[in-house]
Amino acid sequence: MASMKILKCSTDDIPILAVMNKRLIEDEGSTNPMNPEELADRMRGFISGEYNAYFFTVDETPVGYALVRHTSSPLYLRQFYIDRQYRRKHYGKQAFQLLMETLQVTEIDVDVLMNNEPGRRFWSSLGFEENHVSMRYKSGK
């Protein structure tokens, strides 16, 4: 497996982050209706505020990213994505370990959608444990 690196993103990286974020939304089964332009605007707000974004690269190619809120304790991993063609090759595990080393933390929180079974299996395989259930009410159902 090629060596992975982690790079802190800047506002110049927002177009790539927005495309990857759209793929993440699709893959996790989210109901978020935002298009890439709206996601780019939202990402701009995230990284100009409480969040840092990081690319995971292999041979200088971004293969995924993480979006971390750095103002909470423990830190909050809002988004974590590995491109589809790089999955099932241990890049996700390598990226997560690299992220934890870079952040210099031993604890981090992540939310996983209930219907995202592959995501739940991935996080469980890394040692994450469920600690609460968030519920949403929608009238008219």
- For each of the domains in the chain, give its residue range(s) and CATH number, in order of start: 4-125 (3.40.630.30)
Q: How far apart are CA 8 and CA 68, in angstroms?
A: 11
Q: How far apart are CA 113 and CA 103, in angstroms?
A: 24
Determine contact, residues 18/36, Cβ cutoff 8 Å. Answer: yes
DSSP H or E stretch at residue 77: strand 75-82
**pLDDT greater than 70 at residue 93:** yes
Q: Residue 104: left (phi > 0), alpha (psi -120 to 50), or beta? A: left
What would the pLDDT profile of 59-88 be if each residue is shown by its tens digit?
Answer: 999 999 999 999 999 999 999 999 999 998
**pLDDT greater than 90 at residue 14:** yes
Task: Specify the pTM.
Answer: 0.89
